[in-house]
A and B are shown apart, each in its own frame.
Chain A
Amino acid sequence: MHHPTWGFLIVNYLFLGGLSAGLFFVSGVATLFYQQGKEGNARMARLAALLAPWPVAIGCTLLIFDLGKWYRFYKLFLHLRVVSPMSIGTWLLLLFTAISLLYLYSWLTADERALLIAKVPERLAFVRRFDRDLTPHRKKLAAIGVPLSLGVGIYTGVLLGAVQSRPFWNTNLVAQLFLISALSTGCAAVMLVLVLRGEMTREEMRTLFAADVLLMLLECLIVTPYLLHGELSVESVRQSLTLILGGPYTWAFWIGFVVLGLVIPLAVEARELKLSLAVGPAHASRVLTAVTAALVLVGGFMLRYIFVFAGQASSFK
């Protein structure tokens, strides 16, 4: 291909969509498994809930403006084509964004809601009638939203993986990789905000690091067979892997994604997890934790950048 059909807007969207899915997942799971007395979980859940809708909202905006005819985007909602990953994804995004906004609303305190409602201009006063206390429905919204967040997370990978003409993408591992990476970036984003605000407790650390270490291990267990099985596959697949094994995306993949985005954060977080389990200082270093969380986000972005661009460059010969 002379120049990529999908560019950086799509990379950004895939990253942001995944990030929102991850944030919602973290919040939803924390809500569903909330136990009385574990204040840390509630704080984490609230923080992630307040963050969750925005990346995907920005991402969808980017997506619409990436269309050749952006004002025709409504046509996407006039059809549901189950054989088109993009069509399924469009509907998933719509439902997910709606649920995540309702869910966010359910996490607002009465005061915050009052403040928000007070800001509604007089002309739109009717909106105020829709103000409800959704707090009692929080768990229900989480229960609906968590499967949707998994759907959005995996969809970003399916969008690429379901294209049979691009050997670099056309494996089920891509969908799994994108999903796990999405959940991991969600964890990392919560970690980053908590640590920057200087309010991460030992309990939150334990939960977030344990989850993220597990997710990153899973990523390793997907990337490895992706490469090994690819190398043992047919000519076109092996050929497409040269894009990251000596080709133009080699550095981005090995340094940007594998080393900076996966191995280093995994090592640091595993150590932090060990520290948080022991008695002693809660942090090896706050800066280190922040940098690590940022690296996970960078890794997630690199993964999408590499896959979007390298995938388009791969083809049957």
Chain B
Amino acid sequence: MARREKRYAIAIDAKKCVDCKACVVACRAENDVPVEYSRPWINEDHRGDWPRLMLAFEPEQCHHCDDPACVRVCPTGASYQRADGIVAIKQSDCVGCRYCVIACPYEARFFREDKGVVEKCDLCSARVDRGEVPACVETCPSKVRVFGDLNEPKGRLAELLATRQYKIKKAEAGTGPQLYYLL
């Protein structure tokens, strides 16, 4: 991949997540998403029986992959990737074939039955363009998400990724995911 001037991404410190769903609600409000749908979501993992048990939450959303399968399969080019790495949909070009929904390894896209088009997280690109952070990042009370530019060496995101261990999900799908889970 050619080096980008900016490369926006999110790091997630899932241990801090308390499943309050503020991110989901803030996203719906910001992006006008009805309650039946959701761009970010929270995975739940629980194991064992009392008193030996665990419960863990893990927020997830579009991974804004470097080599996004959804963009590749789109027949009209409605799905595209911005120069700063954000994967978005030009809704007026979406024909609603839903090929991208199937192609995404993370199930991060959904088909809006009411609108007839596909929708997904675009990292609140309008906010980002104004110099703000995405709504899910801003609203999180326990500061689970850290948004930033991977190519900004002095930034908080780069610092976290340089000093903490992290994992990415389903790397074997080969799409170059850019949602970093801090360990």
Contact = CB atoms under 8 A, between A and B. Distances in A.
Interface of A: 1, 5-6, 66-69, 72-73, 75-76, 78-79, 81, 83-87, 90, 162-166, 234, 236, 312, 315-316
Interface stretch (B37-45, B100-108, B121-129, B141-149): B100-108
B94 A236 contact: no
A90 B118 CA distance: 19
A72 B95 contact: yes
Contact of B77 (A66, A68, A69, A81): A81
A84 B97 CA distance: 12
Contacts of B98: 5-6, 68
Contacts of B107: 1, 315
Contact of A312 (B69, B95, B102, B115): B102
Interface stretch (B2-10, B22-30, B132-140, B169-177): B169-177
B155 interface: no
Interface string B160-181: 0000000000101111000000
Nearest to A66: B97
A72 B118 CA distance: 14
Contacts of A69: 94-96, 116-117
Nearest to B103: A163
B159 interface: no
B93 interface: yes
A75 B117 CA distance: 14
A213 B167 CA distance: 51
B133 to A, nearest CB: 29
A76 B75 contact: yes
A79 B76 CA distance: 6
A165 B73 CA distance: 12
A85 to B, nearest CB: 7
Contacts, number: 91
Contacts of A76: 75-76, 95
A68 B111 contact: yes
A251 B115 CA distance: 37
Chain B: interface residue count, which band? 20 to 34
A233 B102 CA distance: 22
A162 B118 CA distance: 20
Nearest to B104: A165
A89 B77 CA distance: 15
Contacts of A81: 74-77
Nearest to A169: B102
A67 B105 contact: no
Nearest to A88: B75
14 contacts: A6-B98, A67-B96, A69-B94, A75-B78, A81-B77, A84-B74, A84-B75, A87-B76, A90-B75, A162-B73, A164-B105, A165-B105, A236-B172, A315-B107
B153 to A, nearest CB: 32
B94 A86 contact: no
Nearest to B101: A5
B172 A84 contact: no
Interface in B41-100: 69, 72-78, 93-99
A311 to B, nearest CB: 8
Nearest to A72: B95
B76 A75 contact: yes
A87 B175 contact: no
A316 B105 contact: yes
Contact of A68 (B72, B75, B95, B174): B95
Contacts of A68: 94-98, 111-112, 115-118
Central interface residue in A78, A81, A90, A312, by most chain B CB within 10 Å: A81
A285 to B, nearest CB: 44
